[in-house]
Structure 1
């Protein structure tokens, strides 16, 4: 959607997602883009019967995608991976419509690996991803762009952001978040550490919409009043509101979060040091390692957050406490993080897509 915003005055943009996918709710809520849905399903990891059903869904998806392309007649297509892109790119290939696949993570999934072979151009967030796709910098079919994020992240005012949450300028702020659905293991770990961390900081905790807000609020209610006032709990922060995720990122001194693809851009955009807790069932470790190796973050394993003894002595508490207390360490990590920012990412992707579109019309 960041790329669509850049393209708004140059082209008509249509967003294509999967039938029943959560992306439709996000697109409708946060943009004015037309949304079109295609049938799509993962093939791998489904068992023989599930794989056969997925292949039938894929074939149906190609037919529906072809009908959609015949109706919309796009000049070029940008895909961000996921199985909905497979039928769309296959149908586009049959119609000689140019395509660009974009990899936001360090490690590509099966869909991106497949689509990179038929796409006219492969764009990646970071150069570390190129060898994993059999590409290299300077390859005419490859482009390193960074990750397109909301432009306001680069211009957010820290004092105004803190004022939105009622936080004094002299307070140290810890931001905890796990995406729109939250991260239950992180929520549980933070709940156990509230008595340890709140004497050191104010916590903005975006816990997700999966029902954790109620028991987290009950846990906080048992704290001493002085500590309870420092715990700001939200299920979700809407874009465009005074208390938004952009404001929370700008207000924070330290973050505890997963290491999804957007983390590689959002944290550097505001120069925010973080303790990353990769989701263990996908390739988030490699995303975390990218920031850790460059001195911009620390990493704690999901199953090791609280350790085997007292929670306050566990790896998560130790890592967070170190960043909260050591101002110089925090400052250096913020500088290293900010150096990784790519504020031009959305413009670069938009320009590459327009070039593909122009090429197809000549």
Structure 2
């Protein structure tokens, strides 16, 4: 039985769930912000509730953005057969039913017009509860190959929102007719960078190509060490801004201190790049990065020439899958396995610096995979589902 007795929605009430990692949490936040902006144009605002794990990143993000939050219990199904993971699965087997009951009570009390989930096992209880009460339920997948939670939820979702065309083949057959490719929401600031401002922020020379190197918010030791060895051979041809992470900052500052005096000014290292990131992305001729879903969404939306070094221990090997998918289509260069060496990094970057036409072609190909309007597309799907579900 539907929770609704009227077809007219006077105020959009939505539950959003998803979290555990930034890859699940930030697309949800970007979508919420886009929804608020869309409704503000009509003089209204959505009634929101974020459901997640009490100690998860999503709780912090919701509080920081003044979004009401409710915690539920959840568990995770691990595919490993190691004794430790089997024991943890047994413990979580008792937590999952409790989470579903909590989620069902939440949906029954809140009576949302629509539910949006963006992945992570915290999405499972709310997704199942939405299906139980026949509330329009939209599931968003950021990665190319679906995570286990979304493989479960795709079977009950009203609408399956994908970031990649190639993800369609990973869906259960019956879910494909309910799928639409929206892309992965990218925060608007990323798309509005000013290259002159980025160069000025780090005292860089506009006449020298910029290479931006990042291992993500926490940095990446593998990338740091590859770059450390390649730096002396790269800096005669470019300038580099490097986000190395807090743990690698002291080590990379020591590397910087050993550079020849005539090259040292061309290397800028930071543990974390804050508001300048969109400007630096706009200014960069080449970006060297991991191939997480959020990073790839940003780089393709911007049409950047990029060198991807996938994290080798990502869940379901998703970073390798994504990097190879783009590389096979000429939309990125991938350094992985035996190719992930300082020498290959040096040769790849110097080769691209010497070949502007190749850089431009990489950027154009990357842009064909980018969806800068993804957040707006997701919002349109939310509003359509909410309107159709009221009744």
Counterpart selection for 1:17 from 38, 52, 73 = 52
| TM-score, normalised relative to structure 2 | 0.83
Change (3 A) 1:204 1:40: farther
- Select the residue among 222, 229, 245 that pairs with 1:192: 229
Q: Deviations over 1:52-81 (max 9, x none)?
A: 111122122223323333443321111111
1:36 equivalenced with 2:77 (yes/no) = no
| Stretch of structure 1 that moved more, 154-163 or 276-285 | 154-163
Aligned length: 349
Deviation track 1:142-201 (CA, whole Å, cap 9, x = no partner) reads 111111101233332222222232222212111111222221111121122221222221
Q: Is the 8 A contact 1:7 1:13 kept in 2?
A: no
Task: Tell me the residue number matched to 1:338.
Answer: 367
The Cα offsets for residues 332-359 of structure 1, whole Å up to 9 and x where unpaired, read as 2122222332222111111111122222
Q: Is the 8 A contact 1:185 1:302 kept in 2?
A: no
Task: Give the corresponding residue for 2:240.
Answer: 203
Q: Note the residue ranges of structure 2 that are not aligned, 5 or more in a row.
A: 1-28, 40-44
Deviation readout 1:17-70 (Å, 9 max, x if unpaired): 3232234334545x3433333333321235332111111221222233233334
Q: Give 1:254's aligned residue.
A: 286
**1:283 aligns to what SS in structure 2?**
helix
Q: SS where residue 155 of structure 2 aligns?
A: helix
Distance in 2, matches of 1:219 and 1:267, equals 28
Task: Summarize deviations over 1:200-245 as a string: whole Å, max 9, x none.
Answer: 2111111123x1111111121111233222221122223xx3x2x2
Aligned to 1:169: 206
- Find the counterpart in structure 1 of residue 252 from structure 2: 216
TM-score by length of 1: 0.89
Within the candidate set 147, 151, 159, 1:121 is matched to: 159
Structure 1 counterpart of 2:358: 329
Residues 100-141 of structure 1: per-residue CA shift (max 9 Å, x gap) = 11111111111111110111111101110001113599x541
Residue matched to 1:228: 264
**Residues 1:136 and 1:66: Cα distance change in structure 2 (over 3 Å):** closer
Q: Name the CA shift for 1:61/1:291 in 2 (closer, same or farther; >3 Å).
A: same
**1:17–1:23: 8 Å Cα contact kept in structure 2?**
yes
| 1:298 partnered with 2:333 | yes
CA contact (8 A) 1:178 1:258 kept: yes
* 1:303 to partner: Cα distance: 5.2
Query: Secondary structure at the residue paired with 2:330?
Result: coil
Gaps of 5+ in 1: none
* Distance change >3 Å, CA 228–CA 2, structure 1 → 2: same
Structure 1 CA distance, aligned partners of 2:220 and 2:339?
15
Change over 3 Å in CA distance of 1:136–1:60 after alignment to 2: closer
Structure-2 separation of matches of 1:176 and 1:41? 36
What is the CA RMSD across the aligned residues, in angstroms? 2.1
Whether the 8 Å CA contact 1:136–1:142 is kept in 2: the answer is no
**Does structure 1 retain, via aligned residues, the 8 Å contact 2:195–2:280?**
no
Aligned equivalents of 1:361, 1:16: Cα separation in 2: 22
- The separation in 1 between residues aligned to 2:203 and 2:49, in whole angstroms, is 39
In the other structure, the counterpart of 2:13 is none
**Which residue number corresponds to residue 380 of structure 2?**
351
